[in-house]
Amino acid sequence: MRILGIETSCDETSAAVVQETGDAAKPWTIRSNVIASQVPIHREWGGVVPELASRQHIRDICGVVERALDEAATSLGDLGAIAVTQGPGLVGSLLIGVSFAKAMAAASGLPLVAVHHLAGHIESLVLQNGEMPLPAVVLVVSGGHTSLYLVEQPGRYRLLSRTRDDAAGEAYDKVAKLLGLGYPGGPVIDRLAQRGDDRAVQLPTTRLTHADRNAPELKGDLDFSFSGLKTAVLRYVRSHPPSGGGSGFSPREIADVAASFQRIVVTVLIERLFDAARRYEAKSVGIAGGVSANSRLRAELQARGAARELPTFLPSLQLSTDNAAMIAAAGLRQFRAGVTAPLDINADASLRL
């Protein structure tokens, strides 16, 4: 069976066709995965502007879906279902994909599958590499999320912990902004950090030891927090005048801040992931979401996994940031479990997994 996936939760308009392989170990293959990025539009503003994002989704969605079907040599009659991201995300953006998918399902008579965006990121690991040995602990780390999930059975995701404040990708973007490096910050800091001294700047790590009063299911010690780190970078930048005495930091100084910041973020993410893996006796670990494109994070995951003899899973770079192929994959998983959505579903900006 083939499924059409549609993703519009933030600033990428994406559509994809994913097909079942019949091989239980590697269940899905990508026939097409078209992504229209809005980065050039939002760069001018230093971050995603929700109103501009939803308007651009409207302009792009028809062409993106047509191209995805075209590249997959697939007509509506070849599809078994339509999967769409229902949430979480920007509500105006989500609405475009959800409305489009509902209209297509109504017109074609195809079943509709409503997918949680983070289920998509988790299934990107399976789409890329095949099924993970379970139980697995997966870190979803992006511009909007930093959460650890335990996957005990295929398609069942249990939240273990999450960030109490900023997401890791958000911290990357904010630190890049205060260093004057542009948007999105993750790839730029990643590149500059490779030339910097990661011990040059002393920055704090945060370890939470108490439960969240507003969310008692979050016990504390596996949770994340990045706002203190971001503030520490801000303080450092304000209290250390550039060495040349001029108005700007030298490339060397910026590379040192980038490397020091990246060392802390990656260390925290890897430590928590492997702490959780030990606690829940995981048979594999994975990292998904935009920040999983980070070169140091990828290298440290693989090194730590090899040292512990624990299989590690990563998406390809294209599947790490937002895309519809991962939504199609999660949609196939749900469809095969018998879960479809009625045509009166709505976009849900804070949908729970």
Q: Nearest CA to 46 among 216, 179, 150?
A: 179
Which of 316/340 has CB closer to Zn ion? 316
Shortest spacing between CB 47 and Zn ion, in angstroms: 15
Query: DSSP letters along 196-262, please?
Result: S-TTSS--------S-BTTBTT--STT-B--HHHHHHHHHHHHHS--TTSSSS--HHHHHHHHHHHH
Shortest spacing between CB 158 and Zn ion, in angstroms: 19
**Contact 185/177 with Cβ under 8 angstroms?**
yes
CA–chain centroid gap for 274, Å, is 19
Residue 256 binds Zn ion (CB under 5 A): no
Helices 295-308 and 185-193: crossing angle in degrees, nearest 10, is: 70
Residue 144 binds ligand KG4 (CB under 6 A): yes
* Span from 102-110, 134-142, 219-227, 323-331 in contact with Zn ion (CB under 5 A): 134-142
Other beta carbons within 10 angstroms of residue 213's beta carbon come to 7
Site string for ligand KG4, 153-172 (x = CB under 6 A): ----------------x--x
Instruction: Select the binding partner of residue 173 from ligand KG4, Zn ion, none (C-beta < 5 to 8 A, by kind).
Output: ligand KG4
C-alpha–C-alpha distance, residues 91 and 101, integer Å: 15
Residue 115 binds ligand KG4 (CB under 6 A): no
Instruction: Select the binding partner of residue 184 from ligand KG4, Zn ion, none (C-beta < 5 to 8 A, by kind).
Output: ligand KG4
Residue 12 binds Zn ion (CB under 5 A): no
Structure tokens at 93: 């953006």
Site string for ligand KG4, 275-294 (x = CB under 6 A): --------------xxx-xx
Q: Rounded to the nearest 10 degrees, how much is the dihedral formed by the CA atoms of 262, 264, 269, 270? A: 100
Shortest spacing between CB 43 and Zn ion, in angstroms: 18
In terms of Cβ atoms closer than 10 Å to its own Cβ (0-12, 13-18, 19+), residue 106 is exposed
| Site for ligand KG4, residues 37 to 66, rule: CB under 6 A | none
* Span from 55-63, 70-78, 92-100, 321-329 in contact with Zn ion (CB under 5 A): 321-329
CA–chain centroid gap for 62, Å, is 24
Answer for which of 166, 190, 223, 256 binds ligand KG4 (CB under 6 A) is 190
Instruction: Select the binding partner of residue 187 from ligand KG4, Zn ion, none (C-beta < 5 to 8 A, by kind).
Output: ligand KG4
Shortest spacing between CB 73 and ligand KG4, in angstroms: 28
Query: DSSP letters along 277-311, please?
Result: HHHTT-SEEEEESGGGG-HHHHHHHHHHHHHHT--
Residues forming contacts to Zn ion in the complex (CB under 5 A) are: 142, 322
Residues forming contacts to ligand KG4 in the complex (CB under 6 A) are: 10, 142-144, 169, 172-173, 184-187, 190, 289-291, 293-294, 321-322
